Amino acid sequence: MAAWRVYFALLNPIRKQGIHNMSTPTNYSRGPVALERSAVLDEAHLGDIKGALGTIAHHDTAPRTGWWARFRTLLAILGPGLIVMVGDNDAGAFGTYTQAGQNYGTTLLWTMLLLVPVLFVNQEMVLRLGAVTGVGHARLIFERFGKFWGAFSVIDLFLLNALTIVTEFIGITFVLDFFGVSKIAGVCIAAALTMAAVSTGNFRRFERFAVVLCLLSLLLVPVLVAIHPPVSQMTRDFFIPNWPANSKLSDVMLLVIGIVGTTVAPWQLFFQQSYVVDKRITPRFMKYEKADLWIGIAFVLIGAVAMIAFCAQLFAGKPEFGNFTDAGGVIAGLEKYAGHTSAVLFAVALFDAAIIGAAAVSLSTAYAVGDVFKIRHSLHRGVSDAKGFYAVYFGIVALAAAIVLIPGSPLGLLTEAVQTLAGVLLPSATVFLLLLCNDRAVLGPWVNSKKLNLFTGAVIWVLVMLSIVLTASVMYPDMTGETIIEILAGGTVFAVLGYAVTAAARKSRRQRGGEEQAAQTWQAGARDTWRMPPLDELPPPNLTLSKRVWMGVLRGYLLIAVALVVVKVVQMTLLK
């Protein structure tokens, strides 16, 4: 039925919307369109791109030759990269970045610069998967790696996202306290706003709401200007790695790991891939979506650098320096030392970050559940037309809000659990991402290059090592800096040996003819039209012995690490 609807839509004359929208040129020539079966699970994922700032008709295949046509196309595509990046600068990120500035000045600004390529590479692979396959991340994991890993990915995503949304509402309570608003009323209103923004049945309306929230995140800039930290020092610490003087190595390392976990989170992968699919973006708009991603990364850097820098300047030489408490303490410090206006701007930016963070994280969960159970899951549908999708979204938001309102809830403990579990689970999410982006049956001409694989492999190992350090620090809070260095050094040696063995095994297979030596060539323009075939037509995944061994090691580590974290959290709860 979905194929026939697309067929008739393509045969109809050019619709009025396609002629007069701001992104589809009026002088294009519509050539023959090949109607092929696709892997798209929800027919609402097919049709015109209806972005916050423009529309691109489904039948519009005209080349964008002028700068104005390209700019209008970018405006229509803008959204997925911007929202996922700004959504990651959520309430938890506010706490992490302000802690870095208040406790260590601007000495850790360089970590943000190092994370830029990691952010881009991870999210670029995800948007490529979404545009080419037409299905979400969870569905691909189920289909290509089996039910165990599929169930594991969705269950841990659901639990981790639920805890993450709790931290968003914790951030909202700080804002409510500052403005003197009732906690119960304020949290309920925030939850209702988060639900209402998504449930209109109009994709464009939600995206416009989200883009407005993204722009409001720039309220941190006036705060930075008002406090005006030294630009020369900010520039030096941003480009030249430095280490806080007279500080405990283990404490600083854990904060650096927290910055990594805050900036690169598992939910981002699931959200952006599904959102690209829901927005109906196809491979021919890939370069515009990459530009959208770079714009989102710029927003992340502006917010993070602003918070670290103005907190460093605000608390320098004050009793609060080195004694970070929470985002509520930062609001109080701003009102005390910078004035009421700066405190209000920061509080509004924090509320804004919590709302967009809660919406994006909740959507990533609802999208994943829709993918796995093959139910309708699109913002183009209303509540009555996608009951399961919205039930998951409403349920996880309501649950998080209720936990925050329960008297005596261990909110601080939950925040710590979120950071730890995110650090533990992030490497596995990146491993699946890398394997999927090397699956030729899934991505065809869009598979990773060798250089990208090498870089991503190195990133994965760094994430694994940081994850191990983070897990060990939860189990052994008094772990010394020397122990951390020994773990990192030992892990590096193990990684080099593992890479050498894997490379030797791959070379041996090539010599025996077990692997194709020449990559398939593609005709010019084929990449822009290539889409993954239906999932039931894909050949079995090529899981070599080395891949199975590494996945087995990863599975064992995850089971042990998650079990240890859960035991530790339960112990701390009982002792409290």
* 50-74: average pLDDT: 90
pLDDT at position 32 is 39
CB 470 within 8 Å of CB 424: yes
Summarised one tens digit per residue, pLDDT across range 168-189 is 999 999 999 999 999 999 999 9
Q: Is the pLDDT of residue 514 over 60?
A: no
Separate counts of helices (H) and strands (E) for the chain:
24, 2
Residue found under tokens 């790696």: 145
pLDDT at position 215 is 96
Q: Which two tokens stand for residue 353?
A: 């970050």
* 224-233: average pLDDT: 94
Task: Decide which of 549 and 86 is more confident.
Answer: 86
Cα gap 26→18, rounded to integer Å: 8
pLDDT at position 356 is 95
Tell me the C-alpha to C-alpha distance, in Å, between residue 323 and each of 304, 357, 401.
19, 26, 29
CA atoms within 13 A on the CB side of 116: 16
Query: pLDDT category, 149, cuts 50, 70, 90?
Result: confident
* 478-504: average pLDDT: 76
pLDDT at position 420 is 66
Averaged confidence pLDDT in the chain:
83
Sorted by where each starts, the structural domains of the chain and their CATH numbers stand as 75-423 (1.20.1740.10)
The set of long-range contacts for 453-459, using a CB threshold of 8 Å and a minimum separation of 24, is 455/117, 455/121, 456/121, 456/122, 456/125, 456/430, 457/499, 459/118, 459/121, 459/122, 459/430
Kindly state the DSSP code that residue 27 receives in the 8-state scheme: T
Summarised one tens digit per residue, pLDDT across range 441-456 is 999 899 998 888 888 8
Neighbours of 375 (CB within 10 A): 17
Q: Which two tokens stand for residue 367?
A: 């999208």
Q: Determine the distance from the C-alpha atom of residue 419 to the mean position of all C-alpha atoms in its chain, rounded to a whole number.
A: 15
Q: Comparing 198-207, 295-304, 501-510, which segment has the lowest mean pLDDT?
A: 501-510
Q: Which two tokens stand for residue 489?
A: 């050094």
CB 257 within 8 Å of CB 466: yes
Q: Is the pLDDT of residue 571 over 70?
A: no
Instruction: Give the SS3 label for residue 218.
Output: helix
Cα gap 543→531, rounded to integer Å: 22
Cα gap 366→353, rounded to integer Å: 20
pLDDT at position 483 is 78
Q: Which of 117, 469, 118 is nearest to 265 (CA)?
A: 118
pTM for the model stands at: 0.87
pLDDT at position 118 is 86
Instruction: Give the SS3 label for residue 50.
Output: strand
Percentage of the chain modeled with pLDDT above 90: 47
pLDDT at position 108 is 93
pLDDT at position 4 is 41
Cα gap 50→285, rounded to integer Å: 14
pLDDT at position 104 is 93
CA atoms within 13 A on the CB side of 491: 17
* 376-389: average pLDDT: 93
- Residue 55 phi, psi (nearest 5): -125, 145
Cα gap 340→274, rounded to integer Å: 41
pLDDT at position 125 is 93
CB 368 within 8 Å of CB 189: no
Cβ neighbours of residue 81 under 8 Å, at least 6 residues apart?
A: 123, 127, 272, 289, 290, 292, 293, 294, 295, 296, 297
pLDDT at position 112 is 92
pLDDT at position 518 is 47
Query: In sequence order, what are the beta bridge partners of 51?
Result: 54
Cα gap 133→368, rounded to integer Å: 15
CB 161 within 8 Å of CB 367: no
pLDDT at position 244 is 87
Q: Which of 293, 530, 515, 550 is nearest to 435 (CA)?
A: 550
pLDDT at position 31 is 40
- Residue 185 backbone class (left: φ over 0; alpha: ψ -120 to 50; beta: rest): alpha
Q: Which two tokens stand for residue 274?
A: 């599904």
pLDDT at position 359 is 95
Query: In sequence order, what are the beta bridge partners of 55?
Result: 50
For 56, the enclosing helix (H) or strand (E) is strand 54-56
Task: Decide which of 32 and 528 is more confident.
Answer: 528
Is 228 exposed, middle or buried, given 0-12, 13-18 or 19+ CB atoms closer than 10 A? exposed
Task: Decide which of 3 and 61 is more confident.
Answer: 61
Cα gap 101→194, rounded to integer Å: 30
Q: Comparing 185-189, 317-321, 479-483, which segment has the lowest mean pLDDT?
A: 479-483
Cα gap 142→120, rounded to integer Å: 25
Q: Is the pLDDT of residue 576 over 70?
A: no
Q: Is the pLDDT of residue 221 over 50?
A: yes
Polymer length of the chain: 576
Summarised one tens digit per residue, pLDDT across range 404-430 is 998 877 676 676 667 667 767 777 788
Cα gap 366→392, rounded to integer Å: 5
Percentage of the chain modeled with pLDDT above 70: 84
pLDDT at position 543 is 73
pLDDT at position 474 is 64
Cα gap 343→174, rounded to integer Å: 12
Q: Is the pLDDT of residue 33 over 50?
A: no
